[in-house]
Amino acid sequence: MIAVKTYYMVFAALLALTLVTTGAAFVDLGARWNTIVGLTIATVKALLVATYFMHLRHSQRLTLLFAGAGVLWLALLITFVFADYLTRGW
């Protein structure tokens, strides 16, 4: 079981990352890097929520497989669609 203190620490980290991502939006890094920074921070926040709040850290392997399958299929969907869109010569 995860300690309550851990929940508060994750909560604090999520708040801090929200402030960082909002602040970063006002810094001009170029469209590409603003996008990468925003999505990277969002992914870290999502992993924090999944790992601690959704207890993936202490869950059984079958649960991890189910969660991983959802993400894997989404990655396939995105990869193959962009493999098309980004390589069109027209």
Q: Given the rule CB under 8 A, which residues bind another protein? A: 1-2, 4, 7-8, 11, 14-15, 18-19, 21-22, 24-26, 28-31, 34-35, 38-39, 41-42, 45-46, 49-50, 52-54, 59-60, 62-63, 66-67, 69-71, 73-74, 77-78, 81-82, 85-86
Are 56 and 50 a contacting pair, CB within 8 Å? Answer: yes
Nearest distance in Å: CB 81, another protein: 6
- Would you list the DSSP string of 1-67? ---HHHHHHHHHHHHHHHHHHHHHHTS---HHHHHHHHHHHHHHHHHHIIIIIS-GGGS-HHHHHHH
Nearest distance in Å: CB 4, another protein: 6
Nearest distance in Å: CB 63, another protein: 5
Task: Decide whether 86 or 89 has the Cβ nearer to another protein.
Answer: 86
